[in-house]
């Protein structure tokens, strides 16, 4: 009887994880939630938060990550509302909290069930990912692997939370800064009404960084050392 309960536990938690993911996707896709996260509406809401606006935004961003809200939507809003520098800081914190929560949800609800399905061959890869957790997470973040699916997916592997956290923290810095700096800079020029600012070094630099970001995955791929044929 005890072993039967032991088998049922992971299955029930895995079912809850599936329900959670499906519900989150349905909420993001078929409710007006995205409309409320648009720059104008979200900006008005944050104005009512006063000095707590940054904390409120970080919390909204973190929840949005877990609900499969596109990161570009949330990041664009943060950069447009708070500017290129504060926007970067608040977006990074929100993304880190959201990524950590999604990982822990995946780990608690799905890891045991996933482990029960892993055969000897897949176990070698699972063990290898655990041994190289930080490098694996960092690499996938730098090549822009889909953010939210990776958050939950890594929770199903043996990657330690510490490796996941620091790999994510470092891996999203470049992309987050480039995108927030680009959007925030253009928003500053638009808000000021000084269109000559479009010819400033800041705008050219932000555009250059934005274009460069599309080449980061290819650069990382070339710098990646050749893989060994087998896994020890």
pLDDT one-digit tens code per residue, 50-107: 999 999 999 999 999 999 998 889 999 999 999 889 999 999 999 999 999 999 999 9
DSSP 231: -
For residues 146 and 121, what is the distance between their CA atoms, to the nearest angstrom? 25
Which are the contacts of 210, defined by CB distance < 8 A and separation ≥ 6? 178, 179, 182
Residue 80: name the closest of 68, 90, 65, 95 by CA.
Answer: 90
CA dihedral 44, 49, 51, 57 (to 10 degrees): -80
For residues 13 and 107, what is the distance between their CA atoms, to the nearest angstrom? 10
Task: Give this prediction's pTM.
Answer: 0.82
Residue 128 pLDDT greater than 60, yes or no: yes
């Amino acid at each position: 009887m005890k072993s039967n309960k032991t088998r049922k536990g992971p299955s029930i938690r895995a079912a809850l994880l599936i329900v959670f993911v499906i519900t989150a996707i349905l909420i993001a896709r078929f409710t007006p939630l995205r409309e409320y996260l648009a720059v104008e509406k979200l900006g008005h809401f944050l104005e009512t938060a006063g000095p707590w606006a940054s904390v409120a935004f970080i919390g909204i961003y973190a929840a949005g990550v877990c609900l499969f809200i596109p990161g570009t939507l949330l990041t664009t809003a943060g950069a447009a509302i708070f500017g290129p520098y504060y926007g970067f800081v608040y977006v990074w914190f929100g993304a880190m909290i959201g990524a950590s929560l999604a990982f822990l949800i995946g780990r608690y609800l799905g890891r045991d069930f996933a482990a029960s399905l892993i055969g000897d061959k897949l176990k070698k890869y699972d063990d290898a990912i655990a041994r190289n957790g930080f490098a694996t997470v960092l690499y996938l973040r730098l090549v822009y692997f889909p953010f939210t699916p990776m958050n939950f997916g890594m929770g199903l592997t043996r990657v330690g939370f510490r490796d996941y956290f620091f790999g994510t923290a470092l891996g999203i810095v470049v992309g987050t800064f480039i995108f927030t700096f680009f959007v925030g800079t253009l928003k500053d020029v638009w808000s000021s009404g000084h269109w000559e600012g479009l010819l400033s070094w800041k705008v050219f630099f932000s555009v250059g960084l934005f274009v460069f970001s599309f080449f980061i995955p290819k650069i990382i791929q070339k710098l990646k050392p050749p893989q060994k044929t087998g896994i020890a």
